[in-house]
Amino acid sequence: MIEIAPRVSGPVVVVAVQDNQFVRAGDLLFEIDPRTYKASLDQARAQLDQTGDNVRALTKQVDSARAGVDVARASIQQAKSAIAQVDAAVVKYKAEYDRQQELLPKNATSKKAVERAQATYVISLEEKKAATAVLVQSEANLVKAQAALAEVQAKLGALGDENAQIRQAQAALDQAKLNLEFTQVRAPANGYVTNLRLSTGSHVVANQPALALVDTSSHWVDGYFKENVIARIKPGDRAVVILMTYPDRPIEGVVDSLGWGIYQQDGSTAGNLLPRVSPTFEWIRLAQRIPVRVRLLEVPEDIKLRIGTTCSVLVRTGTAAGRQDGSRASQAR
């Protein structure tokens, strides 16, 4: 039995099946009011568009900030070139000033020429200070431009489809699409709708079973065999199943598996973690029964299998492939 639970919550607007109706995989079972989820889908689409606009705006800001970094670097190069030129002028004017000072005692120049050379040299020194200040300012501008670029890049994140904002908005859109699809609940397998209590106007809750579907491709039989014969039964043994509903129509089967444990009351843990032991104990006990799962090989079309009905199971021990230990039979009812 498959428990059909909706993936979203809401009022039921369509019930497309009737109780005990056969449905095929993909058939509509019921529909939840889709209007809320359509609105959520429209909102998610709008959010994705807005996020795309924001990302494009941030991309332009990154381009602008990167251009600012390039301008700052170019300014630094210009400032360095200016300092180099000023340094050359300082050396030149310093040499001329020294030469004029050497010529003055020899009366080979005038005092005014010395003063002129000195003034030119002092001016070159001031120009060097100004050029150095421009370089320092240009370097500071570069640091600011790089910081602004890093900040905008951090806000933008990765480019293209790898952008986190785009991926988040796209994921929200995908989820909204899924939620809208989930308003139509469809059969996951071929089977029969049973014990239908759902009706139009009912409110269903996400992940809470709303109806049951009997999967017609997954029937099996559990035969409960006594523990004193279970050792002779092996997976692969042939079996004969006789349904109480169809007592004259035996069905062939094969043992799929044997259970590995059953519940026993004596020795089970009590609330204080001590073993629970019944105060009375029969000295002669009936053999426990172990479940043996039998897979039906071929079921005639006119035989209708129903969950929970009763049958007898006859296992032909020793009939599994590769076994040669006889043909003794065990039976469970």
Give this prediction's pTM.
0.67
Q: What is the pLDDT of residue 327?
A: 47
CA distance 119 to 126: 11
Superfamily of domain 39-171: Helix Hairpins (1.10.287.620)
The answer to whether 320 touches 235, Cβ cutoff 8 Å, is yes
The answer to whether 191 touches 210, Cβ cutoff 8 Å, is no
Q: What is the pLDDT of residue 105?
A: 84
pLDDT block averages, 10 residues each, the chain of length 333: 94 96 96 97 95 88 90 91 90 88 82 88 90 91 90 82 87 96 96 92 94 89 92 94 94 94 72 69 74 92 90 93 54 55
Orientation angle between helical segments 111-156 and 35-103, nearest 10 degrees: 170
Q: What is the pLDDT of residue 266?
A: 67
Helices within 2-110 (DSSP H only): 35-103
Q: In the chain, what are the domain boundaries?
A: 2-33+183-215, 39-171, 221-332
The answer to whether 224 touches 40, Cβ cutoff 8 Å, is no
CA distance 196 to 118: 110
268: phi then psi, degrees, rounded to nearest 5: -70, 155
The answer to whether 12 touches 198, Cβ cutoff 8 Å, is yes
Pairing of β 238-243 and β 251-258: antiparallel
The answer to whether 6 touches 32, Cβ cutoff 8 Å, is yes
Query: Considering only the top CATH level, what class is 2-33+183-215?
Result: mainly beta
**SS3 of residue 4 by DSSP:** strand
Orientation angle between helical segments 35-103 and 164-182, nearest 10 degrees: 180
Query: Considering only the top CATH level, what class is 221-332?
Result: mainly beta
Q: What is the pLDDT of residue 162?
A: 79
**Do 221-332 and 2-33+183-215 fall under one CATH topology?**
no
Running DSSP on this structure, what letter comes out for residue 281?
-
Q: What is the pLDDT of residue 277?
A: 64
